[in-house]
C-alpha cells in the first residue's frame, strides 16, 4: 500500500472521556496450514551427524526478508482473488514479526513497524472487501456498547436531546439523496447518519476549525475532492455535491485503512494522524480503532462513539427512551439554466414564492445571487418554465465591488463608536452581523462594517507582537489562523507549532503564541541614540518599519528612548 507523508489536520478540542472497559473488535483468526513431509528413515550415521550439528539461528534481517516475502505472496494471491492463500500468507508474515525481538536502538525497528502496518491493513482490507462482496456492509461497523458509547447515548438523552431530535427531523430533507449515492458506491447505508452529529443536518453549519456544510469540509479537503469555492459559490454547502465528495473521501479512507470505523476517525482528524498512531502501536496490537482510541485527538475520540451511539438510538429508540420525530419530507426540485446575475429574493417574489425559498434551495450561493455566466439554479418542482419566463422580468443584479470592511472588536468598543468611525449606522452593522437587540459585541469579534467601494477603512487590525522576557508573543484574535500568523511574521506554521508544543492547528481567541524565544539568531542589537526614531533606524539597516516593530514587540504608537536596545537585521526579515 502506498505510503504518504505525515501531517496533522486541524480539529476542535472538547472534553475527553476516559474509557475504563473498552470492548475491542477481535482481529480475524488466521489459521496456519500445516504440511506433513514424507521422508525416508534416517540411518544411524545420519542421526549422529544431525545430533552433532548445532541448530542455526536466523539473523533478524533474514526473518524480516522472509516476512516481506510472505507479504508479497499474499499480495499476489489477493490480486488473484485467492483469499484463503492471501490470509494464510499474511498469518505467516505476522507470525514471523512476532518472533522478531529487536533492541530499541536497532535500525530494523522502522522496517518491522512499517511491515506490521502493511500486514494489518491488508488483513482488514481483505475482510472488509469480502463483507461488501456478499452484501453485508453493516457487519463492518461493529455496534459496541462500551463506556464511551454509553456516555454519548446519555448526552443525546439529556443535554443534547433537543439537538438530536431536531437533527433527526432535518435528516428527512437529504437522507434519501444520500442513501442513493451510498448505494451507487456499494457503501454501508449507516454512513448516511454521519451528518446528524457532524452538522445537525444543517447545510450552512460552520465550526471553529472552519469546516463548513453538511459534511463539515475544510477548504483544502473540499478542493481536493472537487468542491469549488469562489467569491460567489461555496460548494461545501451544496448538499448533493458535498455528499458525493464525502463519499469519495470515505471510500478512499476505507481503501487505505481497511475498516469503516478507522476510516471515520481519519475523516474527522486526517488520515496522516491516524496512520502515524497505527505505526507507533505496540507490536502485539493488531490495528483497529479501539487500539487507537486513547491516542486520538479528543474530538476524534468522541467522534466514533457518537457515531455508534447515533446508530444504536436510531435502531432502537424505545430502548433508550427517545421518541424520534417525523422526518421532514425530502426536498424536491428541478434545475434551470441561468445566464446572468439575478438576486434570488427578487426572483422568488416574481415567482410568487417566499423571499427566502430559492435561497434555501441554493445554499451554495454565498450572496443570495447567481454568478456571472451559466449557473444551474434549483427551483421548486413544476416551476422550471415559470422561472425562465420570470427571468426576463427580473433586473440584472450588479454586485458592488466591495460591500463591507472587516473590523475586529477591541476591548471597550461599542457598536455606536464603530459606526461613527466608519461613517455608517448602528442598524446597518447590526443587520449585517445579525446582532441582537442589545447590540452585544465582545473583544476579538469579527464584524462586517458596511461601506462604499474603495473605502479607506482598515480591513483588519494589524498583527502586533509583545515582548515577555526573551520571548516575542502574539495574542490570537478572532479569525486568525496559524498560516496567516506565520505569514505576518515571516515564519512557518511548523516553527510556531514547535515553539508552542502544538499538536493541532486549532487556535483559541486570547491564546498566547510564542513567535520567537531566546537569542534572535541572525539579528544584532542596536542602542537607541538621542533623536532616533523607529523609521530612521529601520531605514539605516535596510529594514521595513513593520519588521523592526514586529521584531521588538512594538507598534506604531510605541515610544523609544536613548539607551534602549533594539533588535535589527541586515536582511530586513524576521530571523
Do 154 and 114 lie in one domain? The reply is no
Distances (CA, A) of 208 to 22, 68, 273, 485: 30, 44, 19, 17
Handedness of CA 173, 175, 180, 181 (dihedral sign): positive
Taking the C-alpha atoms of residue 283 and residue 264, their distance in angstroms, rounded to an integer, is: 23
pTM surpassing 0.75?
A: no
Lowest mean pLDDT among 42-56, 149-163, 194-208, 528-542: 42-56
Whichever domain contains 501, its CATH number is 3.10.350.10
Q: 302: which 3 cell numbers?
A: 468522541
Same domain, 148 and 186: yes
Average pLDDT over every residue of 83-94:
74
Nearest to 439 by CA among 410, 403, 413, 457: 413
- 319 φ/ψ angles, rounded to the nearest 5 degrees: -60, -35
Pair 440, 549 in one domain: no
In this structure, the number of other CB atoms found within 10 A of the CB of residue 51 comes to 7
The DSSP secondary-structure symbol of 405 reads: E
Mean pLDDT of the 221-237 span: 87
Say if 14 falls within a structural domain.
Answer: no
Between 8 and 574, name the one with better pLDDT: 574
Q: Measured between alpha carbons, how far is 75 from 125 in angstroms, rounded to an integer?
A: 12
- The CA-atom distances, in angstroms, between 482 and each of 166, 171, 221 are 35, 34, 17
> Measuring CA to CA, which residue among 363, 453, 447 is closest to residue 173?
363
Cα 236 from Cα 215, distance rounded (Å): 8
**CA–CA gap between residue 49 and residue 51 (Å, rounded):** 5
Q: Are 108 and 102 in contact (CB under 8 A)?
A: yes
Say whether pLDDT at 322 is over 70. Answer: yes
* E strand spans, 174-313: none
Q: Higher pLDDT residue, 191 or 279?
A: 191
CA distance 128 to 137: 8
| pLDDT tens per residue, range 477-514 | 877 777 678 766 667 777 888 889 888 777 888 899 98
Sign of CA dihedral 68, 73, 77, 83: negative
Q: Is residue 460 part of a domain?
A: no
197 plus 297 within the same structural domain? yes
Given a cut of 80, is residue 133 above it in pLDDT? Answer: no
Among the candidates 363, 391, 419, a domain finishes at 391
Same domain, 93 and 151: no
Please check whether residues 479 and 563 belong to one and the same domain: yes
8 A C-beta contact, residue 192 and residue 349: no
| Boundary of a domain, candidates 101, 134, 167 | 134
Do 223 and 267 lie in a common domain?
yes
Cα–Cα distances in Å, from 532 out to 15, 210, 292, 322, 458?
Answer: 52, 44, 59, 73, 28
Residues 238 and 364 in one domain: no
Please say whether the beta carbons of 121 and 258 come within 8 A.
yes
Q: What is the mean pLDDT of the chain?
A: 76
**Domain-located, residue 44:** no
More confident residue, 291 or 170: 170
Domain holding 128, by residue range, is: 59-134
What's the CATH number where 227 sits?
1.10.530.10
Three-class DSSP labels, 36-68: CCCCCCCCHHHHHHHHHCCCCCCCHHHHHHHHH
Instruction: Look at residue 3 and tell me if it is in a domain.
Output: no
Predicted confidence (pLDDT) per residue in 134-182, tens digit: 233 333 677 888 888 999 999 999 999 999 999 999 999 999 999 999 9
Q: Is a pLDDT exceeding 50 seen at residue 250?
A: yes
User: Could you tell me whether strands 375-380 and 333-338 are parallel, antiparallel, or unpaired per DSSP bridges?
Assistant: antiparallel
Backbone angles phi, psi at 119, to 5 degrees: -65, -45
Three-state DSSP at 402 gives: coil
For residues 211 and 104, membership in a common domain is answered with no
User: Within this chain, do residues 195 and 314 fall inside the same structural domain, yes or no?
Assistant: yes
Q: Which residues pair with 526 in a beta bridge?
A: 566
- Whether the per-residue pLDDT at 84 is higher than 50: the answer is yes
Domain assignment present for residue 173? The answer is yes
- Residue 21 belongs to a domain: no
Residue the block writes with cell 502485539: 284
Statement to judge: residues 481 and 527 lie in one domain: yes
Q: Are residues 373 and 426 in the same domain?
A: no
> Count of domains in the chain?
5
Q: Is residue 311 part of a domain?
A: yes
Write the pLDDT tens digit of every residue in 421-452.
777 888 888 878 888 878 889 887 888 887 64
Q: Is residue 47 part of a domain?
A: no
The closest of 412, 565, 573 to 488, measured between CA atoms, is 573
Amino acid at each position: 500500500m502506498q505510503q504518504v507523508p505525515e501531517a496533522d489536520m486541524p480539529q476542535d478540542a472538547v472534553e475527553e472521556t476516559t474509557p475504563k472497559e473498552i470492548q475491542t473488535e477481535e482481529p480475524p483468526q488466521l489459521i496456519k496450514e500445516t504440511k506433513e513431509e514424507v521422508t525416508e528413515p534416517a540411518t544411524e550415521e545420519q542421526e549422529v551427524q544431525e545430533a552433532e550439528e548445532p541448530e542455526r539461528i536466523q539473523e533478524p534481517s533474514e526473518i524480516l526478508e522472509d516476512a516481506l516475502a510472505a507479504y508479497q505472496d499474499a499480495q499476489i494471491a489477493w490480486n488473484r482473488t485467492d483469499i484463503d492463500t492471501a490470509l494464510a500468507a499474511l498469518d505467516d508474515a505476522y507470525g514471523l514479526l512476532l518472533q522478531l525481538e529487536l533492541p530499541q536502538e536497532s535500525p530494523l525497528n522502522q522496517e518491522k513497524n512499517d511491515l506490521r502496518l502493511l500486514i494489518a491493513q491488508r488483513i482488514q482490507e481483505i475482510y472488509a472487501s469480502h463483507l461488501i462482496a456478499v452484501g453485508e456492509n453493516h457487519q463492518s461497523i461493529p455496534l459496541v456498547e462500551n463506556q464511551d458509547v454509553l456516555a454519548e447515548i446519555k448526552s443525546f438523552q439529556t443535554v443534547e436531546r433537543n439537538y438530536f431530535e431536531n437533527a433527526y427531523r432535518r435528516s428527512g430533507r437529504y437522507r434519501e439523496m444520500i442513501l442513493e449515492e451510498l448505494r451507487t458506491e456499494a457503501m454501508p447505508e449507516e454512513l448516511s447518519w454521519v451528518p446528524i452529529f457532524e452538522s445537525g443536518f444543517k447545510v450552512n453549519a460552520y465550526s471553529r476549525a472552519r469546516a463548513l456544510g453538511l459534511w463539515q469540509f475544510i477548504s483544502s479537503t473540499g478542493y481536493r475532492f472537487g468542491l469549488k469555492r469562489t467569491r460567489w459559490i461555496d460548494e461545501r454547502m451544496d448538499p448533493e455535491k458535498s455528499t458525493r465528495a464525502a463519499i469519495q473521501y470515505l471510500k478512499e479512507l476505507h481503501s487505505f485503512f481497511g475498516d469503516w470505523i478507522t476510516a471515520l476517525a481519519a475523516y474527522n482528524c486526517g488520515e496522516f494522524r491516524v496512520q502515524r498512531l497505527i505505526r507507533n502501536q505496540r507490536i502485539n496490537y493488531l490495528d483497529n480503532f479501539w487500539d487507537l482510541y486513547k491516542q486520538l485527538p479528543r474530538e476524534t475520540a468522541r467522534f466514533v462513539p457518537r457515531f455508534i451511539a447515533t446508530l444504536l438510538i436510531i435502531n432502537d429508540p424505545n430502548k433508550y427512551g427517545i421518541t424520534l420525530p417525523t422526518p421532514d419530507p425530502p426536498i424536491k426540485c428541478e434545475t434551470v439554466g441561468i445566464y446572468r446575475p439575478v438576486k434570488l429574493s427578487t426572483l422568488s417574489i416574481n415567482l410568487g414564492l417566499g423571499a427566502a425559498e430559492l435561497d434555501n434551495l441554493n445554499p451554495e450561493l454565498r450572496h443570495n445571487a447567481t454568478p456571472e455566466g451559466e449557473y444551474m439554479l434549483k427551483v421548486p418542482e413544476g416551476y422550471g418554465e415559470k422561472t425562465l419566463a420570470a427571468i426576463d422580468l427580473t433586473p440584472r443584479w450588479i454586485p458592488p465591488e466591495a460591500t463591507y470592511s472587516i473590523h475586529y472588536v477591541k476591548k471597550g468598543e461599542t457598536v455606536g463608536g464603530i459606526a461613527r468611525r466608519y461613517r455608517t449606522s448602528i442598524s446597518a452593522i447590526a443587520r449585517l452581523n445579525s446582532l441582537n437587540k442589545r447590540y452585544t459585541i465582545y473583544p476579538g469579534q469579527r464584524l462586517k462594517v458596511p461601506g462604499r467601494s474603495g473605502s479607506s477603512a482598515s480591513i483588519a487590525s494589524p498583527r502586533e507582537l509583545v515582548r515577555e522576557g526573551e520571548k516575542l508573543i502574539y495574542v490570537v484574535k478572532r479569525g486568525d489562523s496559524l498560516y496567516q500568523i506565520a505569514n505576518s511574521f515571516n515564519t512557518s506554521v511548523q516553527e510556531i507549532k514547535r515553539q508552542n508544543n502544538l499538536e493541532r492547528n486549532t487556535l483559541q481567541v486570547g491564546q498566547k503564541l510564542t513567535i520567537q524565544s531566546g537569542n534572535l539568531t541572525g539579528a544584532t542589537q542596536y542602542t537607541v541614540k538621542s533623536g532616533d526614531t523607529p523609521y530612521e533606524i529601520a531605514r539605516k539597516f535596510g529594514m521595513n518599519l513593520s519588521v523592526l516593530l514586529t521584531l521588538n514587540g512594538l507598534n506604531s504608537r510605541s515610544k523609544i528612548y536613548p539607551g534602549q536596545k533594539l533588535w535589527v537585521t541586515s536582511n530586513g526579515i524576521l530571523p
